[in-house]
């Protein structure tokens, strides 16, 4: 009787997990003429975790109809992010500020490129200098990333400058609180260095 119950429980678990996986990666026709960029991009993103055998197909489709970030997933999957990096650099040359911010994040995180905090700092600063960069949320995130890097480097004056911007402009309470803690840490470190 116990064997029957265990077998039944395993069978139910197996079919439930198959159903869950199917719902996480819905069966959508990639050739549907009404396919939107948003749906294709979501399929690309979901395939990274739930259907890697479909990743390149869905990500190529999403890129083809206008979703640049799909090249990121292809690069992460294949280990070759050169197409994504080339596309970002082309967009930077065309004056697209968000491409600068994205490339800065890649250098900061070391994804698809060798981690280079100096290059990340240069690019984040360049991003903030862009006139068409008006979104306060993105500026606040960029100042937060700058504070993160300067904190790692122990450049406390810079940490204070960038955390103050975050404290003054962040919409999320958690981000403001973290920025305040980093600012306090920076002020303490500066005082200790003068003793």
Mean pLDDT of all residues in 88-113:
95
Segment among 7-16, 60-69, 153-162, 172-181 with least mean pLDDT: 7-16
Task: Kindly give the interhelix angle for 2-24 and 37-50, rounded to the nearest 10 degrees.
Answer: 150
Which conformational region is residue 54 in: left (phi greater than 0), alpha (psi within -120 to 50 degrees), or beta?
alpha
In this predicted structure, what is the pLDDT of residue 108? 97
Nearest alpha carbon to residue 143 among 119, 160, 118: 160
The reported pTM is 0.79
Q: What value does the mean pLDDT take over residues 118-143?
A: 87
Per residue in 19-71, pLDDT (tens digit) is 444 457 778 889 888 999 999 999 999 998 899 999 999 999 999 999 999 99
| pLDDT value at 12 more than 90 | no
**pLDDT over 90 (residue 85):** yes
Q: How far apart are CA 155 and CA 126, in angstroms?
A: 19
């Amino acid at each position: 009787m116990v064997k029957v119950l265990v077998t039944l429980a395993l069978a139910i678990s197996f079919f439930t997990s198959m159903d869950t996986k199917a719902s996480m990666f819905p069966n959508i026709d990639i050739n549907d003429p009404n396919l939107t960029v948003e749906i294709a991009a979501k399929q690309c993103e979901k395939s990274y975790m739930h259907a890697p055998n479909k990743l390149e197909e869905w990500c190529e489709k999403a890129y083809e109809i206008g979703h640049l970030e799909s090249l990121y997933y292809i690069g992460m999957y294949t280990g070759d992010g050169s197409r994504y990096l080339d596309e970002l650099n082309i967009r930077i040359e065309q004056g697209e500020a968000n491409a600068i911010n994205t490339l800065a994040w890649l250098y900061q995180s070391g994804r698809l490129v060798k981690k280079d905090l100096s290059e990340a700092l240069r690019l984040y600063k360049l991003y903030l200098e862009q006139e068409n960069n008006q979104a306060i949320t993105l500026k606040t995130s960029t100042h937060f990333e700058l504070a993160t890097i300067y904190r790692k480097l122990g450049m406390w004056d810079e940490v204070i400058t960038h955390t103050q911007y975050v404290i003054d402009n962040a919409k999320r309470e958690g981000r403001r609180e973290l920025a305040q803690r980093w600012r306090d840490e920076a002020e303490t470190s500066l005082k200790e260095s003068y003793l």
